[in-house]
Amino acid sequence: MTTTTERKLTTQKAIAEAIAQEMDRDETVFALGEDIGVYGGIFGATEGLLDRFGPDRIMDTPISETGFIGAAIGAATNGLRPIAELMFIDFFGVCMDQIYNNMAKIHYFSGGNIKVPMVLMTAAGGGYSDAGQHSQTLWGTFAHLPGMKVVVPSNPYDAKGLMISAIRDDNPVLYIFHKGVLGLGWMTNNPRATGPVPEEPYTVPIGKAAVAREGTDLTIATISLSVHRALDAAEQLEADGISAEVLDLRCLVPLDREAILESVRKTHRLLVVDEDYQSFGMTGEVITTAVEGAFDYLDSPPARIAIPDVPIPYSRVLEQYVLPDADKIVAGAKALLTT
């Protein structure tokens, strides 16, 4: 390990490596989606794979999400293990029936007799002025609907291990990568998007949160790019003598409620940070989880920072106003400690 973990990769390359290693290992794994072939995926999740595996296993598709995601379902129930890419999660509306009513329910309807082993991977998130149809995270929407696991890595190590777990899982797994954690050359540089990744295949368990930073004064529970924001905030808070624990949920389904409770029982204070729309989403679920399981431990009402229930605006000043960031988290943490 020690030697191999010295190798550093971006999250994007870690994802592509995970897919390649699983395709090497298992002939039945293949990928399909828009521009995943010669282009390598708009966000590079299949970079280099067409040359390695050829067009039969790295299939470019028409702009027919209902068609090719539905086809992935049929392939999955007939002996293959497809990885379908929905280019942006914002596009779910053109194919949601296949995702939530079909992919996610066949196993249940069949009383466990038919498995749907597939991965649906998709890009999420904003912060680069791509406006309201290309900047959403929407993971709360999927986590609300039963039958699919929802995985949202924040760093290269988890990205590779969770992708391998997702491909090997016999259930449909929605694998969401935030564009901001990928370490793409054409996005604003993010040092936290590059990190040690073992060369050999390994798995990270689906449904387990991780303590990204230990702390004692409050818990900042969050996911994906907001983990980076929270870690930045935690450094600022430390300078002010506040010890923040940062909990990276890593998955929304299954949600690691025990990890949330454990941390809150330790810190007695909870701030939930999310880049999804605030209402009826992740922040409410995590806070409710804490209230249900650790009510008596809470020294102050849990608080939340999320998109204030508006579409993502285009103009930089407007978008930055609605996105969570380290400063908002610092302010939120301090407010929490003074209530």
Partner 1 sequence: MEIPKDHLVDMYSTMVKIRYFEERLREIYFADKLPAFDIAAGEVPGEMHLAAGQEPVAVGTMPHLKAGDAITATHRPHHVAIAQGLDLKRMAAEIFGKDTGLGHGKGGHMHLFSAEPNFGCSGIIAEGMPVAVGAALAFKKLGKDNVAISFFGEGAANQGAFHESLNLAALWNLPVVFICEDNAYAISVPKEASTAVPDNSDRASAYGMPGVLVPENDPVAVYEVVREAIARARAGDGPSLIEVKTDRLWGHFEGDADAYRTDEFKDSMGDRDALVVFGDRLLEEGVLTAADREGITERMHNEVDEAIDFARNSPDPAPEDALLHVFA
Ligand X SMILES: Cc1ncc(C[n+]2csc(CCOP(=O)(O)OP(=O)(O)O)c2C)c(N)n1
| Residues marked as catalytic | 134
Considering only residues 281 to 310 of the shown chain, the ones binding partner 1 according to CB under 8 A are 308-310
Minimum Å distance from CB 44 to a second copy?
Answer: 25
User: Based on CB atoms, which residue is closest to a second copy, 58 or 148?
Assistant: 148
Minimum Å distance from CB 103 to a second copy?
Answer: 10
Judged by CB under 8 A, does residue 335 bind partner 1?
Answer: no
Residue 182: phi and psi, rounded to 5, are -80, -25
Judged by CB under 8 A, does residue 191 bind partner 1?
Answer: no
Among ligand X, a second copy, partner 1, none, what binds residue 318 when CB lies within 5 to 8 Å by partner kind? partner 1
Among ligand X, a second copy, partner 1, none, what binds residue 68 when CB lies within 5 to 8 Å by partner kind? partner 1
In three-state secondary structure terms, 103 is helix
Among ligand X, a second copy, partner 1, none, what binds residue 99 when CB lies within 5 to 8 Å by partner kind? a second copy
- Parallel/antiparallel/unpaired status of strands 8-10 and 218-222: unpaired
Judged by CB under 8 A, does residue 97 bind partner 1?
Answer: yes
In the structure encoding, which two tokens stand for residue 146, read together? 């039963």
Q: In Å, what is the CA distance from 273 to each residue of 176, 194, 207? A: 17, 22, 19
Peptide bond into 82 cis (omega under 30): no
Q: Do you know the residue count of the chain?
A: 339
Minimum Å distance from CB 317 to ligand X?
Answer: 25
Considering only residues 146 to 165 of the shown chain, the ones binding partner 1 according to CB under 8 A are 146-147, 149
Question: CB–CB of 175/169 below 8 Å?
Answer: no
Judged by CB under 6 A, does residue 227 bind ligand X?
Answer: no
Judged by CB under 8 A, does residue 142 bind partner 1?
Answer: no
Q: In Å, what is the CA distance from 97 to each residue of 70, 141, 282, 303? A: 9, 13, 22, 34
Angle at 197 between CA 194 and CA 200, to 5 degrees: 155
Minimum Å distance from CB 88 to partner 1?
Answer: 9
Q: Which residues bind a second copy (CB under 8 A)?
A: 66, 90-101, 104-105, 108-109, 131-133, 140-141, 143-147, 252-253, 255, 276-277, 279-285, 287-288, 291-292, 295, 298, 300-304, 309-311, 313
DSSP string, 198-230: -SS-----TT--EEEE--SSEEEEE-THHHHHH
Considering only residues 24 to 63 of the shown chain, the ones binding ligand X according to CB under 6 A are 34, 63
Stretch that binds partner 1, among 6-14, 15-23, 113-121, 297-305 (CB under 8 A): 113-121
User: Based on CB atoms, which residue is closest to partner 1, 237 or 253?
Assistant: 253
Considering only residues 110 to 169 of the shown chain, the ones binding ligand X according to CB under 6 A are none
Is the backbone of residue 40 left (phi > 0), alpha (psi -120 to 50) or beta?
A: left
* Contact residues: ligand X, CB under 6 A: 34, 63, 65, 87, 91, 94
